[in-house]
Amino acid sequence: MAIDRRLLTNLDGPLLLAVSLLCGIGVATIWSATKATAHAELYLKQLTAVGLGLVGMAVVASLDYRRLADRAPFFYAASLLALSYVLFFGPRIAGTRRWLLLGGAQLQPSEFVKLAAALFVAKVFAESRKDQLGLADVVPSGIAVGLLSLLIAAQPDLGTAFCLVPLFLAVALLAGLRVRAVLTLALVGVLAGALGWNFALRDYQKSRIYTFLDPSTDPRGAGYQTIQSQIAVGSGGLTGKGFGNGSQVQLGYLPARQTDFIFSVLAEEMGFVGVAVVLSLYLFVLWRILETAQLARDRVGAYLAAGLAATLGFQVVYNVAMVAGLVPVKGLPLPFLSYGGSSVLASLLGIGLILNVRMRRFAN
C-alpha cells in the first residue's frame, strides 16, 4: 500500500489545519467546561480520541475512495448488523441502547454508520446514469438508508437518525432528483410526521417540542436547557467572560456543557468574537468539502464529498441553532468540538475521505 508522492502534494493542508484548530478549540473548551467537576480529565480522553482520529484519517486517506465505495454493500451490511446488535444486546445506559463495548472502549456505531451511508449513497447514485431522477428512482435506496435511520431512531437517538436525511437528499438532488419529487417526499414526510406524533413519538420527545415552542412553560424541565443556554450565550457579550470564567458554565447552570451544549460554553466565555471565529472555521471546512466535490474526478467522489458535507453541515447548523434557542433541543453533538470519542473519530474519518477524494482528483 504505497502512497504516491503526487498524492501527498495534493493533500488539502488548509482543510487539515482548520479541522485541527476546531479539534483543539474543542479540547480546550471541554477542559474549561469540566475543570470544576468530578470529570476534569475528560479533555485528555478527547485529546486521545483526536490523536486516534488523525491516525485513522491518514489510514482512510491512503485507501483509494473508489475501492472503498466498491465495498459499500459490505459496509452497509456491517452497519445493519452493528445497529441491530446494539439494539438487542448493547448495554442500557441512561435509558438508551447506543453503545458497543469493544475491549475497554465504548463505541457508538451510529456515528460510523453515517460514513457507511455516505459511501453507500454515493455508490448507488454514481451508478445511475440518468440525468433526471424521479421519485421511483430513489425509493429503493431511500428505503435502504431509511432502514438504517429507523434502527438508530429506535435506540432512541433521533438527532443522529435524522442526520441521514440531509445526506440522502443532498446526494439525490445532486444526482438529478427533481425538486417536485422532493416536495412530494416532503408531503409524505409531513403525513408520516403526523402519524408518528400520534403513534410513535414518546412523551419526552413530544414534551421537547412543546417546550421548544414555549420554554417558559417548563423552566425547570426540558425548557431549562434552552433557557440556561440562551442565558449563557447572551451574557457572554461581544468578547466573553474570559476562558474558564463563565458563571453559567462554572456554577453548573448549563446542562450537557461538554457535549451537546459545548457551543454555549464557547459563546459565554469567548463571546461573539469566539462564536464568529468558530463559525468561520466551520464555514471554511464546509466550503472546502463542497469544493472537493466540485473538483472530484468522478461522480462517486463528488457524491461522497457532498453527502458528508450535508450531514456535517446539518449537524453544525442544527446544534448551533439549538444552542441559540432557535430549534428544539435534540441530542446532537457538534462535530469536532463536542466531547465524545465516537463522534470525533467518525468526523475525522469523514475528513479522511474528503482528503482522499481531493488527493486523487488527477489520479487515474
Partner 1 sequence: MRIYEDLRAVQERLVVAQRLVIGLLLVLLAAFWHLQVLNNRYFLELAESNRIRNVPLVAPRGLLLDRAGNLLVENRASFNIVLTPEHAEDLDATVTRLADALQLDEAAVRARIAARPARFRPAVIRADASFADVAALEARRLELPETGVEVVPLRAYPMRSAAAHALGRVGEVSERQLEQEAFAMVAPGTFIGQAGLEARYNAELMGRDGVRRVVVNSRGAEVAEAERTPPVDGPPLTLTLDASLQAALERAFAGRRGSAAALDPETGEILALGSLPSYDPNAFATGVDSATWRALIGDPMRPLMNRVIQGQYSPGSTFKPIEAIGGLAEGVITPQTTIYCPGYLSIYNTVFRCNRPEGHGSIDLRRALAVSCNVFFYQTGVRLEIERIARWSRRFGLGSATGIDLPAEASGLVPSPEWKQRVFRTPWYAGETVSVAIGQGQLNVTPMQMARATAALAVGKLVQPHLVKAIAGRPVEWPPAQDLGFVPEHLEAVREGMCDVVAPGGTGWRARVPGIEVCGKTGSAQVVARARLQRDGAENELIRPHGWFIAFAPRERPRIALAVLVENSGSGAEGAAPVAREILAHFFRVGEPAARPTVPAPAAAEAP
- Asked if 147 and 197 touch (Cβ cutoff 8 Å), the reply is no
Q: Does 302 bind partner 1 (CB under 8 A)?
A: yes
Element (H, E) at 101: strand 100-102
Window of 10-18, 42-50, 243-251, 338-346 that interacts with partner 1 by CB under 8 A: 243-251
Q: Which is nearer to partner 1, 154 or 182 (CB)?
A: 182
Cell 453515517, residue?
A: 114
Shortest distance in whole angstroms from residue 224 CB to partner 1? 10
Q: Does 182 bind partner 1 (CB under 8 A)?
A: no
Shortest distance in whole angstroms from residue 295 CB to partner 1? 9
Q: Does 21 bind partner 1 (CB under 8 A)?
A: no
Q: Taking the CA atoms of the chain, what radius of gyration do you get in angstroms?
A: 20
Print burial letters for 85-109: b (CB count within 10 Å at least 16), e (below 16).
Answer: ebeeebeeeeeebbbbeeeeebbbb
Window of 92-100, 106-114, 148-156, 250-258 that interacts with partner 1 by CB under 8 A: 250-258
Of positions 15, 30, 72, 170, contacts partner 1 by CB under 8 A = 170
Of positions 86, 174, 337, 357, contacts partner 1 by CB under 8 A = 174
DSSP 152-199: HHTTT-HHHHHHHHHHHHHHHHHTTB-HHHHHHHHHHHHHHHHHHHHH
Q: Does 70 bind partner 1 (CB under 8 A)?
A: no
Judged by DSSP in three states, 2 sits in: coil
Q: Which residues contact 139 (CB under 8 A, 6 or more apart)?
A: none
- Cα pseudo-dihedral 138, 194, 154, 329, rounded to 10: 110
DSSP 121-161: HHHHHHH---SSB-HHHHHHHHHHHHHHHHHHHTTT-HHHH
Of positions 230, 258, 343, 356, contacts partner 1 by CB under 8 A = 230
Q: Does 231 bind partner 1 (CB under 8 A)?
A: yes
Q: Can you read off the three cell numbers belonging to residue 267? A: 459563546
Of positions 20, 235, 244, 331, contacts partner 1 by CB under 8 A = 235
Q: Does 313 bind partner 1 (CB under 8 A)?
A: yes
C-alpha of 17 from chain center: 19
User: Of 254-273, which residues contact partner 1 (CB under 8 A)?
Assistant: 267, 271-272
Q: Does 290 bind partner 1 (CB under 8 A)?
A: yes
Shortest distance in whole angstroms from residue 354 CB to partner 1? 14
d(CA 164, CA 303): 14
Window of 12-20, 180-188, 230-238, 334-342 that interacts with partner 1 by CB under 8 A: 230-238
Q: Which is nearer to partner 1, 37 or 48 (CB)?
A: 37
Print burial letters for 271-291: b (CB count within 10 Å at least 16), e (below 16).
Answer: beebbeebeebbebbbebbbb
Q: Which of 73, 179, 125, 109 minimizes the C-alpha distance to 298?
A: 125
**CA-CA distances (angstroms) from residue 300 to 1, 68, 124?**
22, 10, 9
User: Of 316-345, which residues contact partner 1 (CB under 8 A)?
Assistant: 317, 320-321, 324-326
Of positions 45, 71, 178, 297, contacts partner 1 by CB under 8 A = 297
Q: Phi and psi at residue 334, in whole multiples of 5°? A: -90, 120
Q: Does 359 bind partner 1 (CB under 8 A)?
A: no
Of positions 49, 100, 309, 357, contacts partner 1 by CB under 8 A = 309
Site string for partner 1, 112-131 (x = CB under 8 A): -------------------x
Which residues partner with 133 through β-bridges?
Answer: 177
Shortest distance in whole angstroms from residue 94 CB to partner 1? 16
Q: Which is nearer to partner 1, 159 or 240 (CB)?
A: 240
Window of 20-28, 138-146, 182-190, 280-288 that interacts with partner 1 by CB under 8 A: 280-288
Q: Which amino acid is residue 362, in one-letter code?
A: F
Chain residues binding partner 1 by CB under 8 A are 131, 170, 173-176, 228, 230-238, 247-248, 251-253, 267, 271-272, 275-276, 279, 282-283, 286-287, 290, 293-294, 296-299, 302, 306, 309-310, 313, 317, 320-321, 324-326, 364
